[in-house]
Amino acid sequence: MTAGTRPRVVIVGGGFGGLWAAQALRKAPVQVTLLDRQNHHLFQPLLYQVATAALNPSDIAQPIRRVLRKQANAEVLLGEAVSVDLDGKRVRLRDGKSVAYDRLILAAGATHSYFGHPEWEASAPGLKTINDALEIRRRMLVAFEAAEREEDPALRAALLTFAVIGAGPTGVEMAGALVEISRQVLQRDFRHIDPAAARVLLIEAGPRILAAYTPESSASAQRQLERLGCELRLGKAVTAVGPNGISLGDETIGTRTVIWAAGVQASPLARSLGVPLDRAGRVHIQSDLSLPGHPEVQVIGDLASLEQDGKPIPGVSPAAMQMGRHAARNLERAMAGQPVLPFRYVDKGTLATIGRARAVAELGKIRIGGFLAWLVWLLVHIFFLIGFRNRFLVLFEWAWVYFRKERGARLITGDVGKLLERASGVTENQEVIAPGSPARSEAARPTLGDASERIWRAKAIQRWENEGGHCFEAHGPPD
């Protein structure tokens, strides 16, 4: 910083923590630079509604420049931070450029964690970005379309099976929405399939869903999901995920649509700091949110690991917002020569929706479920949406869904031909497969390893040939 210039505060990440920190510094004598790899702030708690065709992406996102355009001391830069040079006080970007700072707030968030199996991501996308939501929406809608054309009963059953892995709030909300789509929204739209016959499985390795909630709320949510028609598999860990299904130990489930909601890990940016990290890759920080040994750097949101009263502060949006405001407050105090203050998270309650007019809510000592909890959930989410237009559109869409049982964002984008081929199990070397052949039935079971595949297929072909079948494949039978 040169004499006569304002200190430069760089904020990495335009999510809840980063954006709230930037806004809290609007009257501070600093120059704020908010850096993000996306040009928009995303209201992530409603992302699953984009994935399930209830809302459009623009309903829950707002350009960051528009949010901060009236804040004279703030600028927005589009770029992806890949590392931090703590000694040189520079943030390195993927394109080779760098941004200098006097003070730094890291709010880079988190990404999916596949517990040592990154290869599962191709078959089981997670839900963190708009692109993730659109991909899940594509796969879900194409599964119904492919089932409408499918003649093989086994493959049709696999196409109409949807597996959600992980029963936290995201998994519960996703599973409930999928059941409602199949039972209510699509029920009269198809001629050759009954969408209401679709299976939605919610799989959780732990003993109950919504493990962070009280046992009473967890039990209430489970009852509401089961009444909807969702199948729960508790105490079942996923051991394999492939393009044609999943494995739960010795049990295999044929499915073409798998959604990952089982775990998260901190942004890889944390590893560049050279400081101790927890098992999820989050940075161990001090009580004032600063990086040990570097008081000019603060870490907030999903990137931070901090305990309060012997328990970790949860990675939820209210905690990130509070951290963002507190980081800004401490930054101003430090610049004024005042002592910084320890952060104290105030838990204002937790909410999870299970479907239309179904939810659970924990507000202090108050525990409610059903329609009343759903109303609370609706009002809270509308309140925190940024922009009047977004609030109005979302409220209108929810009213439409509630009264008409319709979802207006049921658009399949992308290369539909390739999506249908993927859903039907057709590859570049397998152009035509007769209905009822072992190759068709094979698409209803998971790919769990080369050896088991060869054994399974050999047995299937032998059984099928004994029944007098004929297999039509472009390049002959498999080895």
The CATH number that applies at residue 359 is 3.50.50.100
The answer on pLDDT for 431 being more than 70 is no
CB of 340 within 8 A of CB of 291? no
Look at residue 457 and tell me if it is in a domain: no
Residue range 3-15: mean pLDDT, rounded: 88
The answer on pLDDT for 453 being more than 90 is no
- Predicted local distance difference test score (pLDDT) of residue 476: 37
Same domain (yes/no): 211, 270: no
Residue range 101-114: mean pLDDT, rounded: 95
Distance CA 341, CA 209 (A): 36
pLDDT band at 378 (very low <50, low <70, confident <90, very high): confident
CB of 41 within 8 A of CB of 61? yes
Determine whether 173 is an active site residue. Answer: yes
- Predicted local distance difference test score (pLDDT) of residue 389: 64
Look at residue 43 and tell me if it is in a domain: no
Residue 23 belongs to a domain with what CATH number?
Answer: 3.50.50.60
- Predicted local distance difference test score (pLDDT) of residue 401: 65
Look at residue 69 and tell me if it is in a domain: no
- Predicted local distance difference test score (pLDDT) of residue 407: 63
Same domain (yes/no): 224, 132: yes
Look at residue 51 and tell me if it is in a domain: no
Q: pLDDT of 43-70, one tens digit each? A: 999 999 999 988 889 888 999 999 999 9
Look at residue 218 and tell me if it is in a domain: yes
Same domain (yes/no): 258, 271: no
Contacts of 322 (CB under 8 A, 6+ apart): 343, 345, 346
CB of 130 within 8 A of CB of 37? no
pLDDT band at 263 (very low <50, low <70, confident <90, very high): confident
Which of 305, 335, 365 is the C-terminal boundary of a domain?
335
Contacts of 187 (CB under 8 A, 6+ apart): 194, 195, 196
Contacts of 156 (CB under 8 A, 6+ apart): 147, 150, 193
Residue range 19-23: mean pLDDT, rounded: 97
pLDDT band at 461 (very low <50, low <70, confident <90, very high): very low
Same domain (yes/no): 243, 353: yes
Look at residue 124 and tell me if it is in a domain: yes
- Predicted local distance difference test score (pLDDT) of residue 398: 65
pLDDT band at 433 (very low <50, low <70, confident <90, very high): very low
Which is catalytic among the residues 80, 145, 151, 173?
Answer: 173
- Predicted local distance difference test score (pLDDT) of residue 399: 67
Write out the two tokens for 215: 């046992």
Total count of domains within the chain? 2
Range of the domain at 366: 118-262+349-404
Same domain (yes/no): 218, 129: yes
CB of 120 within 8 A of CB of 241? yes
279-298 burial, b at 16+ Cβ within 10 Å, e below that, comes to: ebbbbebbebbbbeebebbb
pLDDT band at 418 (very low <50, low <70, confident <90, very high): confident
Same domain (yes/no): 175, 271: no
Residue range 437-451: mean pLDDT, rounded: 45
Question: Residue 381 corresponds to which amino acid?
Answer: H
- Ordered DSSP codes for 80-104: -EEEEETTTTEEEETTS-EEE-SEE
Burial label for 215, CB within 10 Å (0-12, 13-18, 19+), is: exposed
Write out the two tokens for 344: 């104290």
- Percent of the chain, pLDDT > 70? 84
Q: Which residue has the tokens 């704020």?
A: 32
Which H or E element spans position 334? Answer: helix 317-335
Same domain (yes/no): 166, 246: yes
Q: pLDDT of 123-153, one tens digit each? A: 999 999 999 999 999 999 999 999 999 999 9
Residue range 170-177: mean pLDDT, rounded: 95
Q: pLDDT of 225-249, one tens digit each? A: 999 999 999 999 999 999 999 999 9
Same domain (yes/no): 248, 296: no
Least confident of 70-79, 176-185, 291-300: 176-185
- Predicted local distance difference test score (pLDDT) of residue 89: 97
Q: Give the CB-side neighbour count of residue 459, counting CA atoms within 13 A.
A: 6
Contacts of 464 (CB under 8 A, 6+ apart): 436, 437, 438, 471
Look at residue 423 and tell me if it is in a domain: no
Helices and strands (H and E) in the chain: how many: 13, 27
Distance CA 479, CA 477 (A): 7
Distance CA 47, CA 460 (A): 41
Average pLDDT, the chain: 86
- Predicted local distance difference test score (pLDDT) of residue 403: 58
Q: pLDDT of 220-229, one tens digit each? A: 999 999 999 9
Same domain (yes/no): 148, 248: yes
DSSP letter at 286 equals -
- Predicted local distance difference test score (pLDDT) of residue 423: 75
Look at residue 46 and tell me if it is in a domain: no
CB of 320 within 8 A of CB of 314? no
Question: Residue 283 corresponds to which amino acid?
Answer: V
Which of 313, 335, 357 is the C-terminal boundary of a domain?
335
The answer on pLDDT for 457 being more than 70 is no
Q: Which residue has the tokens 């029963």?
A: 167
Same domain (yes/no): 247, 396: yes
Which span out of 26-40, 384-398, 421-435 was modeled with the highest average pLDDT? 26-40
- Predicted local distance difference test score (pLDDT) of residue 421: 78
Same domain (yes/no): 312, 359: no
Same domain (yes/no): 105, 180: no
Residue range 256-276: mean pLDDT, rounded: 94
Distance CA 298, CA 286 (A): 9
pLDDT band at 299 (very low <50, low <70, confident <90, very high): very high
Q: Is 416 helix (H, G, I), strand (E, B) or coil?
A: helix
Beta strands in 366-462 (DSSP E): 366-369
413-442 burial, b at 16+ Cβ within 10 Å, e below that, comes to: eeeeeebbbbbbbbeeeeeebbebbbbbbb
Q: Which is nearest to 35 in space by CA: 110, 131, 96, 101?
A: 101
Write out the two tokens for 309: 């009263």
Q: Which residue has the tokens 């297929």?
A: 457
- Predicted local distance difference test score (pLDDT) of residue 379: 85
Distance CA 213, CA 120 (A): 28
